[in-house]
Amino acid sequence: MTEAKSSSGGSSPGSPILSVRGLWKNYPVQRTDASIFARLMKVAVGWTGALDEWSPLNTGLPILKGVDLDVYPDETLAIVGPSGAGKSTLLHLMGALDAPSKGAVMYRGSDLTKGGSVADEYRNRRVGLVFQFYHLFPDLDALENVLVPAMVASSVHGWYGEARARYSARALELLQRVGLEKRLHHRPAQLSGGEQQRVAIARALILDPEILLCDEPTGNLDRKTGEEVLALLWELKAKSGQTYVIVTHDRKLAEKANRCVEMEDGKLVQITTNASPGKPEVSSKPPEPSISVDLPSAPSAAHKGGEVAIYLGAAFFVLGLVGTIFMTFAAGGVHVILLGPFALAFVLILMGVAMKVQNT
């Protein structure tokens, strides 16, 4: 569980639009010392290779370590923190673009990590994403790029029926709003960085999402262009009242948000409610989330390795027993060779228990 220290007391909490509960994200790693059991096997019998990548042993490198966070309708929430803290990872999980190792991402009470139609609907219609590096399709022009989410969300029949005309009108309107009406048929390579980011913003808004997740929307832009893009985001929010979650290194931008969440090493360390947030205003100050979910922490690889050693030990013990019974009845007496499986069982179980105890 992450204890995030709030700098201001919360009032009565409303219903969050998006909640993150006990979120862990481990990225798999290869040849890591996480796989202690594999290393022991290598030392003992020179066995190397596949065991290292065997997923029960390779729990990976933890990037998010039990994050709890609530996002409230209409608010602007900034996420700040040092490089590598896990901000983008958290944002991608909030956008249902990736699956957590453990925990839940709830949109209006439905768990998106379970997948299915709720997650599809959320991804397609409820959330828009603006990435730091724009991620536009290089072979499509600005207008086509903005239309991509609408195409994906429509059936072929619907698209060529009426959706295409309807969304084209909306894409034109959005591109006008972001000041690119004269760049409709420019491809990304023919657009400046700021213009590409504006296309990406228009694309994120084409389906009128309730939530806009922005990952360093100005990170790659010069100061003036960055300020223009931000002004545009505030202006769009004032008109449509979306909920914004913005990952940023820009302290000024963070101060403009209603709340600012600080991340460090995969955990939320502080949530600040800004006394006088900049534009856009929200009607009421959102309450602080209650961060109170107690989920067990992710078991370490050594802990799992211990478990495997115990299972193996038990298997050798059973083998020894079967051998004893077989030799007693079929061979007329037990043989000293049976000491082998029993001894191995003893060593493995002892090793397993030690690994588990050490890592509890």
Distance of closest approach, residue 197 Cβ to ligand ATP, in angstroms: 16
Strand arrangement, sheet containing 243-247: 5-6, 267-273, 259-264, 76-80, 243-247, 211-215, 127-130
Which amino acid, one-letter code, is at 298? A
Rounded CA-CA distance 137/317 in Å is 59
Nearer to ligand ATP, 63 or 233 (CB): 63
Q: Which of these, 49, 68, 69, 67, lies nearest to 58 by C-alpha position?
A: 49
Rounded CA-CA distance 69/260 in Å is 11
Nearer to ligand ATP, 30 or 117 (CB): 30
* 340 binding partner (options ligand ATP, Mg ion, none; Cβ < 5 to 8 Å by kind): none
Q: Are 77 and 261 in contact (CB under 8 A)?
A: yes
- Residue 69's φ and ψ, nearest 5 degrees, are -160, 140
Q: Are 232 and 201 in contact (CB under 8 A)?
A: yes
Site string for Mg ion, 289-328 (x = CB under 5 A): ----------------------------------------
* 83 binding partner (options ligand ATP, Mg ion, none; Cβ < 5 to 8 Å by kind): ligand ATP
Strands, DSSP E only, in 1-119? 5-6, 18-27, 61-71, 76-80, 102-107, 110-111
Distance of closest approach, residue 354 Cβ to Mg ion, in angstroms: 39
Mark 242-252 as b/e (b = at least 16 C-beta within 10 Å): bbbbbbbebee
Site string for Mg ion, 41-80 (x = CB under 5 A): ----------------------------------------
Q: Is residue 89 a contact residue for ligand ATP (CB under 6 A)?
A: yes
Q: Is residue 69 a contact residue for ligand ATP (CB under 6 A)?
A: no
User: Could you check whether the bond before residue 296 is cis, i.e. omega within 30 degrees of 0?
Assistant: no
Nearer to ligand ATP, 141 or 262 (CB): 262
Q: Is residue 110 a contact residue for Mg ion (CB under 5 A)?
A: no
Stretch that binds ligand ATP, among 9-17, 76-84, 269-277, 281-289 (CB under 6 A): 76-84
Stretch that binds ligand ATP, among 51-59, 82-90, 169-177, 191-199 (CB under 6 A): 82-90
Nearer to ligand ATP, 89 or 196 (CB): 89
Helix (H) or strand (E) segment spanning residue 117: helix 116-121
Distance of closest approach, residue 96 Cβ to ligand ATP, in angstroms: 16
Residues from 14 through 43 that contact ligand ATP (CB under 6 A): 27
Number of residues lying near ligand ATP (CB under 6 A): 10
Q: Is residue 88 a contact residue for Mg ion (CB under 5 A)?
A: yes
Stretch that binds Mg ion, among 51-59, 85-93, 163-171, 314-322 (CB under 5 A): 85-93
Residue 251, both tokens: 């302290």
Q: Exposed, middle or buried: residue 162 (CB in 10 Å: 0-12, 13-18, 19+)?
A: exposed
Rounded CA-CA distance 116/109 in Å is 15
- Among 85, 147, 246, 261, which residue sits at the site for ligand ATP (rule: CB under 6 A)? 85
Q: Is residue 84 a contact residue for ligand ATP (CB under 6 A)?
A: yes
* 64 binding partner (options Mg ion, ligand ATP, none; Cβ < 5 to 8 Å by kind): none
- Among 88, 101, 220, 359, which residue sits at the site for ligand ATP (rule: CB under 6 A)? 88
- Parallel, antiparallel, or unpaired for β 127-130 and 211-215? parallel
Q: Which residue has the tokens 């961060």?
A: 291
Residues interacting with ligand ATP, by CB under 6 A? 27, 63, 81, 83-89
Residues interacting with Mg ion, by CB under 5 A? 88
